[in-house]
Structure 1
Amino acid sequence: MSDHLAAVAETTKLARVLGLDDPTDLDFLVDLPPAALREYRERVTDLLFDRDAQRMKAIATASAIVPVAISSKIAERAFGPILCAAVASAVEPRRAVDIAKNLTPAFLAEAAVQLDPRRTAAIIAAVPATMVADVARQLLSRGDHITMGRFVHVIPEPALRAAAPVMSDPDLLRIGFLLEDKTALDHVLHIVADRVPGIIRAAHDQQMWAEGIDLLDNIAPHNRAWIGDITAGLGDDVLDSLIAAVAELDAWTTLLPITSAMSPDSLRRFAQRPAIHDEHILTAIIDATATHDLWPQALPLVDAALTTDTPDTVWHTLIQLRDHIPADLLTRLADHARELGHDHHATRLEPLGTATT
């Protein structure tokens, strides 16, 4: 599941590099490994930047002897955003920022679209927070989440905090999905922690559960509990649409580690949803669990579902799929059935050759 979503994000960014207006034109690539797609995108980017590298260095060298104010005028009036972006990596970072301070946010946003964060990270890191916010506002007014996502990991925290208010909750979801470096996700969540309920609600309201599930798939283990509890507290409509989306995307390997980290009350609320007691969904959960050996993550949800008011479908599905369940877990489930007074289920769950009492 995570590879599929990562591949979708990669083809979205690749479409930008190739000049395609519709990323779905590259849907035929989404079954390829995300790492391969990223490597290809970076090679294409390198080819575009390196073909005129010497000329760009010469332009940067010449600009160094021109006063900043004049360089800024030349940049905006003569060079344009594409050429400025190509030259930027060859300019000393402090001077590049000084020139940028004299350019309009609209021009900087157009140039940012063309920048390669691998080559300009030092420049981006030195841009004042207010400028970052102004450029972010320009980019988001155009719906450009790709550029935002590509630079988040090199933007210092003060600048991210300045830019966060100009991003709506759906913006944050989309930017998170397109992050160039997913390890930056937990840092971003720390900055916008008070907005996490709104971000999750946006996944429901805006039908953006693919982006929401990708977020859940990439957060660090220490963030699973509080985000899981927030999700469970947003109401049955959110839980029901999350379950439906996970079932449609076959993303149980993403959701089970989240549910296993929930508090008992949140897990109980989740396990009580009627969809969790649907035979098809239960079968998908157990199949995913068996295939990926996720029993430690799945058992808390199974246990919670068995203690609801309507556990029969859960018992019947477990019995039907008992061949997929390890013998030690069958024994555990059989013991649990007896504790709950379901001796008839216990007998059918016990591993073959186990004496009944």
Structure 2
Amino acid sequence: MISFATRAELIKIARVLDVDPDDLNYLADASPAALREFRVELARTLDKRYQALFARLGKAGSLVPAGVAAKIATTFFGPALCGPIAANLPPAKAAGLIEQLPVGFLADTARYIDPDVAAPVVRALDSRSMSPVVQELLRRGDHVSLARFVNALTDRQLRQIVPQVRTGDDLLLTALNVETAQRLDALLALLPDDRVAALLQAAVDRDLVAESIPVLAAVSPQAQQRLARIAAGLGTEVSAAVAAAAAAAGEADLAAAFPASR
């Protein structure tokens, strides 16, 4: 069985190569960390060849009215090409262009944007522009795309976006795809206790506790203590499940943090 983390990386690699993720199942024996390293290097290598073209198209797009640029983007370029071009637009121009594009097209394009490269553009957006796209990604169940943008968003943007991720399932599946522990800490800090409880309960209900252990082990000790306290309030089932899975994964400190392990 392919792990959740491995499956997420295969999805991201498939988007870089524009293939079906199932076509990459032969890579499933590699660790998620190795797959992530391969994906980053693959994307960098492929983009390098066309970076000058993306830069020229971005410059050209900044010279025409937003409405005209939006028409060209949707009619001629498409999401796969617009993703890398977006990183080369001036942030203010990109923000104006987004207002002219259909929400579905923006959600499609999000699959092809590297948030680390496009961070200046992402951080120039306001919640009014982002909210419809976030809701569309959630409707599609595209937690991979949503989680990738957590790294690029500012703390202010996170405060505006996190309340829109309403269900425990969506919170869990997004958190499992976040790649940076520091941003996970920021994400958890914005969630009130009842929503953290919903996230933990979803991990048990969906049988994803074992898949959650690398995430729980990566956050700060303070965040782990809070998670343990909230888990204890849900009853022994959740605490016992996390403690047992942490012990099985060799995460003794995490297992010791949960009351059921004592």
Taking structure 1 as the reference length, the TM-score comes to 0.65
1:177 counterpart letter in structure 2: L
Percent identical across equivalent pairs?
32
Q: Gapped runs of 5+ residues in structure 1?
A: 272-300, 302-357
1:237-256 superposed matches below 5 A: 237-243=237-243, 245-246=245-246, 250-251=248-249, 253-254=250-251, 256=252
How large is the Cα RMSD of the aligned pairs? 2.4
CA 1:144/1:5 → structure 2, altered by over 3 Å: closer, same or farther?
A: closer
- Hey, what's the Cα distance between the residues in 2 that align with 1:104 and 1:43? 31
- The CA deviation string for residues 230-271 of structure 1, in whole angstroms up to 9 with x for no partner, is 112211332344355446xx22x33x3235445xxxx3xx25
**Is the Cα–Cα contact under 8 Å of residues 5 and 211 in structure 2 kept in the other structure?**
no
**Is the Cα–Cα contact under 8 Å of residues 228 and 239 in structure 2 kept in the other structure?**
no
Match 2:99 to one of 98, 101, 108: 101
**Is the Cα–Cα contact under 8 Å of residues 129 and 160 in structure 1 kept in the other structure?**
no
**Is the Cα–Cα contact under 8 Å of residues 125 and 154 in structure 1 kept in the other structure?**
yes
**Is the Cα–Cα contact under 8 Å of residues 11 and 29 in structure 1 kept in the other structure?**
no
1:278-357 superposed matches below 5 A: 301=262
1:14 aligns with 2:13: yes
Q: Gapped runs of 5+ residues in structure 2?
A: none
Which residue of 1 is the match for residue 48 of structure 2?
Answer: 50
Secondary structure of the equivalent of 1:51?
helix
Which residue of 2 is the match for residue 179 of structure 1?
Answer: 178
Query: Displacement, 1:177?
Result: 1.5
- Hey, what's the Cα distance between the residues in 2 that align with 1:25 and 1:170? 28
Query: Displacement, 1:225?
Result: 1.8
- Hey, what's the Cα distance between the residues in 2 that align with 1:13 and 1:83? 16
**Is the Cα–Cα contact under 8 Å of residues 203 and 209 in structure 1 kept in the other structure?**
yes
1:1-357 superposed matches below 5 A: 9-18=8-17, 19-22=19-22, 24-30=25-31, 34=33, 36-167=34-165, 168-194=167-193, 195-243=195-243, 245-246=245-246, 250-251=248-249, 253-254=250-251, 256-261=252-257, 267=259, 270-271=260-261, 301=262
- Structure with larger Rg: 1
- The CA deviation string for residues 302-340 of structure 1, in whole angstroms up to 9 with x for no partner, is xxxxxxxxxxxxxxxxxxxxxxxxxxxxxxxxxxxxxxx
- Hey, what's the Cα distance between the residues in 2 that align with 1:241 and 1:57? 50
Query: Displacement, 1:184?
Result: 0.4
Taking structure 2 as the reference length, the TM-score comes to 0.87
- Hey, what's the Cα distance between the residues in 2 that align with 1:43 and 1:37? 10
Query: Displacement, 1:72?
Result: 1.8
CA 1:198/1:17 → structure 2, altered by over 3 Å: closer, same or farther?
A: same
1:116 counterpart letter in structure 2: D
- Hey, what's the Cα distance between the residues in 1 that align with 2:4 and 2:103? 32
CA 1:164/1:75 → structure 2, altered by over 3 Å: closer, same or farther?
A: same
What is the number of residues matched between the two proteins? 256
CA 1:64/1:14 → structure 2, altered by over 3 Å: closer, same or farther?
A: closer
- Hey, what's the Cα distance between the residues in 2 that align with 1:60 and 1:237? 53
